[in-house]
Amino acid sequence: MHDRDKSMSGKICMVTGATSGIGAATALSLAQLGATVIVVGRNLGKCTSSCEEIRRVAGRVSVESMVADLSVQDEIHGLAERFKGKYRRLDVLINNAGARFLSRSLSADGYEMTFALNHLGCFILTNLLLKELLTSGHGRIVNVASGSHRSCTGMNFDDLQGAGSYHGKEAYAQSKLANLLFTYELSRQLEGTGLTVNALDPGNVLTNFSRNNGWLSWIRHIVGSLRAGGLIGPAEGAKTSVYLASSPEVDGISGKYFSNRMMVNSSDVSYDADAARRLWDISLELAKFK
């Protein structure tokens, strides 16, 4: 990236899960491109440190933080209200926040944590900020999914919350399939508005992602990723997110899945429009939108 490239100057971008890993690298890259960046994380100290690091590396840039735990619906609403209180529009929303949970636990709203954070958090925040994204004229929504969605053969609508049986890897894969079903359904609903939404696989990125579950889980993540073909750093993992947020090459492109900055096919089940609509309706109810 050339230091003088300010192609995102004047753009307002929100990046969730932006205090470490891919999210932090994405926020830094967008700031370097001249964007006003809102760093979203659940920890005030980490949000402050992330903003300081971006300023240290990128110089005089416009960056601020907004604190919210995106597994908690009241905090998502609070985040949206704080944003709307300061900004009239949003040009780019990057739904990057996510986690793996080795054992089943419930969110503050009583939902299984993987589903609550990885899918519902993304679903609720996007819907709450749709007006501001539409105001942009040519806004972009970027959903960070994962190649692990391919191991999920379909949404378990009989037990979305994993109450019957829970396996962390399977719950994560299902949540990433949900990201794609959400992306494709939202794209259908936004057709003709100028607002686009796409999803991506960042690749096998070496981050602290699995440390939520202890060192053993993190080591397993590394070993599994090495077997799958190696690991890349956060900056490399962020490149497709930044590409979808900023590149003129994807102007007007919506409802697609990208890997390594190239459009690719996601799994067959991810294109099930009936499943996508069903998930959308269930999500509306769980989010108390209807």
Q: In whole angstroms, what is the distance from residue 248 CA to residue 33 CA?
A: 13
Closest CA to 74 of 279, 287, 283: 287
From the candidates 111, 172, 243, 257, give the one annotated as an active-site residue: 172
Asked if 213 and 100 touch (Cβ cutoff 8 Å), the reply is yes
DSSP the chain: --TT--TTTT-EEEEESTTSHHHHHHHHHHHHTT-EEEEEES-HHHHHHHHHHHHHHH-S--EEEEE--TTSHHHHHHHHHHHHHH-S--SEEEE------SS--B-TTSSBHHIIIIIIIHHHHHHHTHHHHHHTSS-EEEEE--GGGGG--S--TT-TT--S---HHHHHHHHHHHHHHHHHHHHHHHTTSS-EEEEEE--SB-SSGGGGG-HHHHHHHHHHHHHTT--B-HHHHTHHHHHHHH-GGGTT--S-EEETTEEE---GGGG-HHHHHHHHHHHHHHTT--
Whether 184 is catalytic: no
Residues involved in catalysis: 172
